[in-house]
C-alpha cells in the first residue's frame, strides 16, 4: 500500500465536489421548474380536470413514457449534438447539464402529477362548494396541498442526480464520479475511492435531511 497523500487529495476532492454540486444544482433548478410545470399541465389536462384536453395530455404522457425508460448513459450520448448546438461544447461540467436536466424534468413531471392527483378530493370539493373557480381550486388548494409529498419527491430526484453525475463523469464532465473512476478504478487508489464514497454518502444524507425538514415544514405535521 502506498503512502496516503492527504495534501494532494484534498484539493482534488474539493474541486470534484464543487463540479458535482454545480452540475446537480443547475440541472435540479432547471428540472424543478420545467418538471413541476409539466406535472401541473399533465394534471390540469387530465380527463375531467380544469383544462381537460386529450390531445395535450396524450402527447405529454407519451413523450414522458418514451424518455423515461432510456438509460441515462444513452441519453447523454444521444444529446451530444444538441448540447454542442446549445453550449458550443459537448464536454466539461456544463455539458452534462442538458442531459441531467432532461432526465430529471421527466421524472419530476411524473412525481408532481401523481402528487397532485393524490390530493384529497374532499378538499377539492370543499373548494368548489365555497364558490372557488376551478383555476382557483388548482392554485390555492390542489398545489399547496401537494407540496409536502412533492418536496420528498424532489429530494429523491436530487439524490438520483448525485447518482447520474457520476455517470456524466464518463463524458468528461468531471466531478466526484470521474475522480473515483480515474484514481480509484484506473489507478487502483482505494483511498481516493473511499474518500469519494464517503463524500457522496455525506452529500446524500445532507440532502435527505434537508428534504425531510422542508417537507415537514410545508406539511405542518409532527
C-alpha distances in angstroms, 165 versus 18, 109, 113, 181?
12, 20, 25, 12
Q: What angle do CA 105, 111, 115 make, to 5 degrees?
A: 140
Q: How many residues bind another protein (CB under 8 A)?
A: 23
Kindly state the smallest distance separating residue 220's Cβ from another protein, in Å: 4
Residue 218 binds another protein (CB under 8 A) = yes
Q: How far is the CB of 130 from another protein (least distance, A)?
A: 4
Q: Does 129 engage in binding with another protein (CB under 8 A)?
A: yes
Binding mask 139-178 for another protein (x = CB under 8 A): -xx--xx-xx------------------------------
Closest to another protein by CB, 164 or 215: 215
Instruction: Report CA-CA distances (Å) from 112 to 61, 88, 143.
Output: 13, 32, 9
Helices and strands of the chain, counted as H and E runs: 10, 0
130 binds another protein (CB under 8 A): yes
**220 part of the interface to another protein, by CB under 8 A:** yes
Q: What is the chain's percent helix, strand, coil content, to nearest 5?
A: 80, 0, 20
φ, ψ (nearest 5 deg) of residue 132: -80, 140
Q: Which is nearer to another protein, 5 or 120 (CB)?
A: 120
Please give the Cα distance from 78 to 99 (Å, whole number): 9
Interface characters, 73-112, with another protein (x: CB under 8 A) = ----------------------------------------
Report the site for another protein in 11-30 (rule: CB under 8 A): none
| Residue 211 contacts another protein per CB under 8 A | no
Q: Decide: is 128 part of the binding site for another protein (CB under 8 A).
A: yes
| Contact call for residue 40 and another protein (CB under 8 A) | no
Q: Nearer Cβ to another protein, position 87 or 218? A: 218
| Interface positions with another protein (CB under 8 A) | 120, 122-123, 125-133, 136, 140-141, 144-145, 147-148, 218-221
Amino acid at each position: 500500500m502506498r503512502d496516503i497523500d492527504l495534501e494532494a487529495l484534498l484539493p482534488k476532492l474539493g474541486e470534484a465536489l464543487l463540479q458535482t454540486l454545480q452540475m446537480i444544482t443547475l440541472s435540479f433548478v432547471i428540472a424543478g421548474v420545467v418538471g413541476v410545470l409539466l406535472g401541473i399541465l399533465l394534471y390540469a389536462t387530465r380527463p375531467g380536470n380544469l383544462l381537460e384536453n386529450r390531445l395535450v395530455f396524450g402527447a405529454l404522457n407519451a413523450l414522458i413514457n418514451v424518455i423515461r425508460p432510456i438509460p441515462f448513459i444513452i441519453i447523454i450520448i444521444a444529446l451530444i449534438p444538441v448540447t454542442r448546438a446549445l453550449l458550443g461544447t459537448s464536454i466539461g461540467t456544463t455539458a452534462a447539464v442538458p442531459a441531467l436536466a432532461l432526465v430529471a424534468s421527466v421524472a419530476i413531471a411524473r412525481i408532481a402529477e401523481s402528487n397532485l392527483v393524490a390530493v384529497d378530493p374532499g378538499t377539492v370539493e370543499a373548494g368548489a362548494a365555497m364558490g372557488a373557480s376551478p383555476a382557483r381550486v388548482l392554485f390555492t388548494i390542489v398545489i399547496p396541498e401537494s407540496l409536502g409529498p412533492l418536496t420528498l419527491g424532489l429530494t429523491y430526484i436530487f439524490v438520483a442526480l448525485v447518482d447520474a453525475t457520476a455517470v456524466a463523469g464518463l463524458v468528461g464532465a468531471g466531478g466526484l464520479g470521474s475522480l473515483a473512476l480515474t484514481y480509484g478504478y484506473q489507478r487502483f487508489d482505494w483511498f481516493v475511492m473511499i474518500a469519494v464514497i464517503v463524500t457522496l454518502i455525506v452529500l446524500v444524507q445532507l440532502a435527505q435531511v434537508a428534504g425531510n425538514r422542508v417537507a415537514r415544514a410545508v406539511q405542518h405535521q409532527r
